[in-house]
């Protein structure tokens, strides 16, 4: 075929981006827009799904325009997205009936506590690989049905559709022609049996969600539908979809069991390819990594809710920095952390603790504490949390990673990557192409449309950018980790 470019839509937590990739898996053009975060109450986080759609359309058109590539040379579109954020919309108009409730949102913590007290968590974990937590979509979806006037009756009558952001964007791209999702997004709803690969009636009853609301679940790679002709000059097939963290695993070419990637964006998400489903005894998640030709490959996941969000907090709320990149120089302005630790529990703690009620804690400050210490503490917290995830994976029976492949905005920080290697006690590898989340979506779409032939061809495109090896003395690492664990105990109480 002559079409040798793939367009990836990367709809994230704070921005929407579109990236055009060539068949060499290198970015040709990028367009991006940040969008508003809404905080109606403490612990609540919402997005305007209409704004997300407008921005998605704008950046997609923008990336095509910037690339100067003829639309006829674009083989397909791939979509990747913030995963657990949920939208409910009117099937007739496509209009959302409420703001999207974001993965960070904690409003259904009491519902999860109630379900846990009823003893259903083992059943939920066995079917979904997840723990009871407001992070996941199911309780948020039930909240919208219960709190928007008439929503539950309309849902029962089949007038409404629901889905994660990928489903909503797909619906809009196809003018309502396709209501579908993939296993990596469905698997984060707490409504999907990851072993059978279908929505589960027992879970639907438990969370009071009508099945008719939900999208069809398809393989990650395959033609989902075609864009309407007026959007981009000609119809384009939408041929790949995956949640952002699984897309990053795919984009990092972690196709063999034991390979690990960690993405540092708003949060931090570490996934280890396990091949078959592995049940965690250390409060990690079992999740579909990707499904190709009907066969599911699984991963163990550790989810950290705050990574780059802590740097954003330093910038936007404290005014300690003007730009995130300043944390690199600030971290090296001081000889050490000065005993200052940040436990970034702004929206609770994720894996391996799963404590939604915990809030952030800054400890160890003295009159000598400076802005540089705060910046360093925010970066160190990311590495300490990463170490906790590696420790949990090893406790679940995995070997310590031969290497940790990193990506996301924070991975551009050399100081952080070196500190990560010291804390994880394994080499950290940063690829030459750091836009691996979008690249994973492009890979999935390109596989379905002949741009790449198979997983081996994809793996051949992965190129090392820089490797960071551990150099810290064991006694120094032990001292730092002990300080982190003390701060963590204080935060959890």
Domain ranges of the chain: 5-244
- Centre a 10 Å sphere on the Cβ of residue 110 and count the other Cβ atoms it contains: 12
Q: What is the pLDDT of residues 323-333, one digit of tens each?
A: 888 888 898 99
Q: Which residues pair with 38 in a beta bridge?
A: 46
CB neighbours of residue 72 within 10 Å: 10
Q: Name the pLDDT band for 303 (thresholds 50, 70, 90).
A: confident
The model's pLDDT over 421-449, given as tens digits with 9 standing for 90+, comes to: 999 999 999 999 888 999 999 999 999 99
| 5-11 and 15-22 strand pairing | antiparallel
Nearest CA to 362 out of 386, 337, 387, 344 is that of: 344
Q: What angle do CA 97, 103, 107 make, to 5 degrees?
A: 75
Higher-scoring residue by pLDDT: 409, 259: 259
**Residue 149 to residues 98, 155, 194, 259, 317, Cα–Cα distance (Å):** 10, 11, 32, 47, 35
Cα 295 → chain centroid = 22
Q: What is the pLDDT of residue 438?
A: 95
Return the SS3 of 369.
coil
pLDDT value of residue 400: 86
174 touches 257 (CB < 8 A): no
For 16-48, write each residue's pLDDT tens digit: 999 999 999 999 999 999 999 999 998 899 999
Q: Examine the pLDDT at 1 and tell me if it is beyond 50.
A: no
**Res 409: pLDDT:** 86
Least confident of 1-5, 272-276, 354-358, 372-376: 1-5
Look at residue 356 in the predicted model and tell me its pLDDT.
82
Average pLDDT of the chain is 94
pLDDT for residue 350: 87
Per DSSP, the residues of 119-168 read T-HHHHHHHHS--S-TTSHHHHHHHHHHHSTTHHHHHHTT-EEEEEHHHH
Closest CA to 78 of 31, 17, 33, 35: 17
- The closest alpha carbon to 248, from 287, 303, 289, belongs to 289
Residue 2's pLDDT band (cuts 50, 70, 90): low
> What average pLDDT does the segment 305-327 reach?
90
Q: 140 or 229: whose pLDDT is higher?
A: 140
- The CATH number of 5-244 is 3.30.420.40
Q: What's the predicted TM-score (pTM) here?
A: 0.91
pLDDT band at 378 (very low <50, low <70, confident <90, very high): very high
Q: Which residue has the tokens 């394994």?
A: 426
Q: What is the mean pLDDT of residues 400-419?
A: 93
Cα–Cα dist 254/62, whole Å: 30
């Amino acid at each position: 075929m002559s079409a040798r470019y793939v367009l990836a839509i990367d709809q994230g937590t704070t921005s929407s981006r579109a990236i055009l990739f060539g068949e060499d898996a290198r970015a040709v053009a990028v367009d991006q827009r940040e969008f508003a975060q809404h905080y109606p109450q403490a612990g609540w986080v919402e997005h305007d799904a209409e704004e997300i759609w407008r921005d998605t359309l704008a950046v997609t058109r923008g990336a095509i325009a910037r690339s100067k590539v003829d639309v006829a040379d674009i083989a397909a579109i791939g979509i990747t997205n913030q995963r657990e954020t949920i939208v409910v919309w009117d099937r007739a108009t496509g209009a959302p009936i409420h703001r999207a409730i974001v993965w960070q949102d904690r409003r259904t913590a009491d519902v999860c506590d109630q379900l846990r007290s009823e003893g259903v968590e083992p059943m939920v974990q066995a079917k979904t690989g997840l723990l009871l937590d407001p992070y996941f979509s199911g309780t948020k979806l039930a909240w919208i049905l219960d709190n928007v006037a008439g929503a539950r009756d309309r849902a029962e009558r089949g007038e409404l559709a629901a889905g994660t952001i990928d489903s909503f964007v797909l619906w809009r791209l196809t003018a309502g022609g396709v209501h579908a999702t993939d296993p990596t997004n469905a698997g984060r709803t707490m409504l999907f049996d990851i072993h059978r690969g279908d929505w589960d009636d027992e879970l639907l009853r438990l969370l009071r969600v009508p099945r008719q609301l939900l999208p069809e679940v398809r393989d990650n790679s395959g033609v989902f539908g075609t864009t309407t002709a007026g959007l981009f000059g000609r119809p384009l097939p939408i041929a790949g979809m995956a949640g952002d963290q699984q897309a990053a695993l795919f984009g990092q070419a972690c196709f063999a069991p034991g390979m690990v990637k960690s993405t540092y964006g708003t949060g931090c998400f570490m996934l280890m390819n396990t091949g078959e489903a592995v049940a965690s005894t250390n409060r990690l998640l079992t999740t579909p990594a990707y499904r190709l030709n009907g066969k599911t490959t699984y991963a163990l996941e550790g989810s950290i809710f705050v990574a780059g969000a802590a740097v954003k907090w330093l910038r936007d709320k404290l005014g300690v920095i003007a730009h995130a990149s300043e944390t690199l120089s600030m971290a090296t302005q001081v000889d050490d952390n000065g005993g200052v630790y940040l436990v970034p529990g702004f929206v609770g703690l994720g894996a391996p603790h799963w404590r939604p009620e915990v809030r952030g804690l800054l400890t160890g400050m003295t009159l000598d504490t400076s802005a540089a210490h705060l910046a360093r503490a925010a970066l160190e917290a990311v590495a300490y949390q990463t170490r906790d995830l590696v420790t949990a994976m090893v406790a679940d029976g995995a070997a310590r990673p031969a290497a940790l492949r990193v990506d996301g905005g924070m991975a551009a920080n050399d100081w952080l990557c070196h500190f990560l290697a010291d804390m994880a006690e394994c080499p950290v590898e940063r690829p030459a192409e750091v836009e691996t989340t979008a690249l994973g979506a492009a890979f999935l779409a390109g596989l379905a449309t002949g741009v790449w032939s198979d997983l081996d061809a994809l793996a051949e495109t992965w190129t090392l950018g820089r490797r960071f090896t551990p150099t810290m003395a064991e006694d120094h690492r032990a001292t730092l980790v002990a300080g982190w664990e003390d701060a963590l105990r204080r935060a959890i109480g």
